[in-house]
Structure 1
Amino acid sequence: MAALAWLLIPLFAVVGAAIWGGWAARDRTTGDIAELAGYARFRDAMDRAHSERESV
């Protein structure tokens, strides 16, 4: 029975590594669209603020 326990430890490690590897390799590009749109609005606002200061 003890030998079976020692064989299960690497099995659990492999399963845990596979789960972690799948989670680490997931596609995380879905949130980039909203962030890029927010950054574009920020740049536009900064350009407007900069152009207003030059005209004053």
Structure 2
Amino acid sequence: MAALAWLLIPLVAAIGAGLWGSWANRTRRARNDGPELDGYARFRAAMEKPHSRHMTEQP
């Protein structure tokens, strides 16, 4: 009987992990990535702009 209890522990843990994983992932489907992608596009545009001074010049 003790061996059966030790086998049930990982089974219950796996079921619990599956339930938690499905619960944690439920809101990711409806997430809108528009603002994050817009911010990344602005970042890339800023990085591609030429600088007015070189890094070696002293102010």
Q: TM-score, normalising length from structure 1? A: 0.49
Q: TM-score, normalising length from structure 2? A: 0.47
